[in-house]
Structure formats: structure tokens, C-alpha cells
Amino acid sequence: MINERDFPKGMLFSLILAALFFLNGCSGEDRDDSEAIPEALALDIPALYSTVDTITVLVAYVPGAEPFTGMIHRDIACWSVLESNIEALFEGRVLEPDVHVPSMLSEMERIPPQEQDTWTSEAIMGLAMDIWDAQPSSFEAEFFVLFLKGRFESEDGPDNRIIGVSIVGTPVIAIFKDTVLSSSSIPQVARFVEQATLVHEFGHVMGLVNNGVPMVSDHLDPEHPRHCTNNQCVMYWVNEGTSDMAEFVRRMIDSDSLVMFSEECLEDTRSYLP
Ligand SMILES: [Zn+2]
Ligand SMILES: [Zn+2]
């Protein structure tokens, strides 16, 4: 359990700023429709919520972009945040898949340095296909997470605010470590930002919001596709006011649960019948 009092004075404020930064930093990238997703890297969302009984998260990193590991707070391991949130999406379903998330660097793949400072979604997909030999299966789902140096490059050019990207229609996610590190000089906060970004991007690739999994209630932000209208949800696109954000972070810290998704989002995935 995380209690607010466990954080040093000033920590909560820093967390708020960091979380604000992180929530600005999502990019769910639509690929050009004319460019088909390779079959091996197409994500079958109906299968994910019907026949899949094992979910495995594979992580690779370039030197200097090592994911945070170890504890995020007291006895809570960093990567248990992502694991808990993936499990939460399936809680109460007839089939609750076994979720395998690495927790130590030795369980993640170190890849050679990449000679590029900016990453388009095409370049991210290309690297993922070089590293992993995806074997699509109706029973096992694999998700691929790349930790990279450099910045994401959108159609508008390099964007140093983007921490994480999910490639729509695929199980591929990229995290930009330089942006994570610049989000806060407090290591514990940067750890929180990294895991929360992973949870947000996993939410997208696993069908949220209205991105493959239909909504039970209307909580799609009309201005921001694939994002939740609930400003206390990790799938909210950005938090407008610091009081709302304070509440979001306080809920995270006070709660017994590490789950960052709002009830609306959880209701969608838990009741989805493909
Ligand atoms: Zn997003
Ligand atoms: Zn939500």
C-alpha cells in the first residue's frame, strides 16, 4: 500500500507535475491505411478477449535506455504496475489470461545502439520486426516494447514531449527514455511516469477507448480519439487543471490498488464479448 505520508514533503507536487507531463506525452499513431500492417504484427483483439490464455510482454532496450527495474515504492516492484493493470482489464472474465511481464533487466533484451535520433512509427515497426520473430497465435498474445534513445517523430516533426507511442493495430509500443528521464529529476517520479506511460499505451493496443473494444457507456473524448472522458483515468488525454490532476495522483497513492484505469474503461474490457 502506498500512503501519501510515505512521500517526502514536496513529492506529491512533483508527482503532479510529472503526471501532467506524462499525460501530455502520448501518441497513438495511426499508420497510413495504404501501408498494410504485416500479418505477423497485426493484433487480433477479438482473439485477445476470447481465446488467448497467455499474455507475454517482451521488452528490448538500447544501451542508455534501460528500463527502470527494482522497486517503484517500498515493496512494490516497478513492473508489477504494468502487470496489475493488464490483469485488471481481464478481471472477472470467463478467461483470465496468465500475464507474464519481465521484472529484471536480465529478462529483457539488450540490442545494439541504433544510429538515429528520431523515430517515425515506420522505423519503430521496422526495428520491432528485426528483433522479434512474431508468431501469431489464437492462444498466446505477445506484446513488444522498445526502449529507445532519441525522440518520436510525428508528421509535424520531432516531438520531445512524447514519452510513449503505440502503433495502432499492432502489439508494438515504444518508450522514449530521454523523455522519461527529463520528466523529473526525482528517480521515484520518473519510475512512476515510465510505468504509467506503459499502462496508457497498453490501454490503447488492448482496444481502449473504442479502439477495437466497444464502449459499454459513452466515455470517448470526441476531441481526442481513443481517449477517455474521465479525467481520473489513465486513458484521459491530458489533465486541464492541477486540482483534477492532484486528485488523479492522490488516488494512485492512497489506493490499495495499482489500477489506473477508470471503471468505464474496465467495464468495456471486462464485459466485451467478441
Ligand atoms: Zn493516448
Ligand atoms: Zn477511462
Predicted TM-score of the model (pTM): 0.86
Cα 166 from chain centre? 8
Give the H/E segment covering residue 142.
Answer: strand 140-148
Residue 168 C-alpha to ligand 2 middle, in angstroms? Answer: 18
Of all ligands present, the nearest one to the C-alpha of 269 is 2
| pLDDT for res 240 | 39
**Ligand 2 centre distance from Cα of residue 268 (Å):** 9
Helix (H, G, I), strand (E, B) or coil at 185: coil
- Number of domains the chain contains: 1
Q: Which pLDDT score, from 0 to 100, does residue 257 have?
A: 75
Q: Give the model's pLDDT for residue 126.
A: 93
Report whether 53 contacts 189 (CB < 8 A): no
pLDDT of residue 6: 38
Torsion of CA 194, 33, 47, 167, to 10 degrees: -10
* Letter string b/e over residues 31-47, b meaning 16 or more CB atoms within 10 A of that residue's CB: eeeeeeeeeebebbbeb
pLDDT in the model for residue 24:
44
CA dist., res. 196 & res. 193, Å (int)? 5
228 - beta bridge partners? 220, 236
Q: Name every residue whose Cβ is closer than 8 Å to that of residue 86 and which is 6 or more positions away in sequence.
A: 55, 57, 99, 101, 202, 206
AA letter at 29: E
Strand partners of residue 145? 59, 173
What was the pLDDT predicted at 55?
97
Residues 6+ apart with CB under 8 A from 87: 96, 99
Q: Per residue of the chain (274 residues), what is the pLDDT tens digit? A: 333 333 333 444 444 444 444 444 465 555 444 356 777 788 999 999 999 999 999 999 999 999 999 987 777 889 999 999 999 999 999 999 999 999 999 999 999 999 899 999 899 999 999 999 988 789 999 999 999 999 999 888 888 878 888 888 899 999 999 988 887 666 777 787 788 889 989 999 999 999 999 999 999 999 888 999 988 788 887 643 334 434 555 566 666 678 889 999 999 999 999 9
Q: How far apart are CA 71 and CA 51, in angstroms?
A: 33
Ligand nearest to the CA of 266: 2
Domain CATH code at residue 33: 3.40.390.10
Q: What's the CA-to-centroid distance between 94 and ligand 2, angstroms?
A: 22
pLDDT of residue 11: 45
CA 151–ligand 2 middle distance (angstroms): 27
* Ligand positioned closest to the Cα atom of 220: 2
Beta-carbon neighbour count of residue 270 at 10 Å?
18
Distance 200 CA to ligand 2 centre (A): 10
235 CA → ligand 1 middle, Å = 6
Q: Tell how far the Cα of 262 is from the centroid of ligand 2, in angstroms.
A: 4
The residue segments making up the domain with residue 175 are 4-271
Residue 27: the pLDDT is 56
Report the separation in Å between the CA atom of 135 and the middle of ligand 2, taken as the mean of its atom positions: 31
Strand order across the beta sheet in which 157-159 lies: 118-119, 151-154, 157-159
pLDDT score for 2? 35
93 closest CA partner among 274, 270, 273: 270
Residue 262 near residue 233, CB atoms below 8 Å: yes
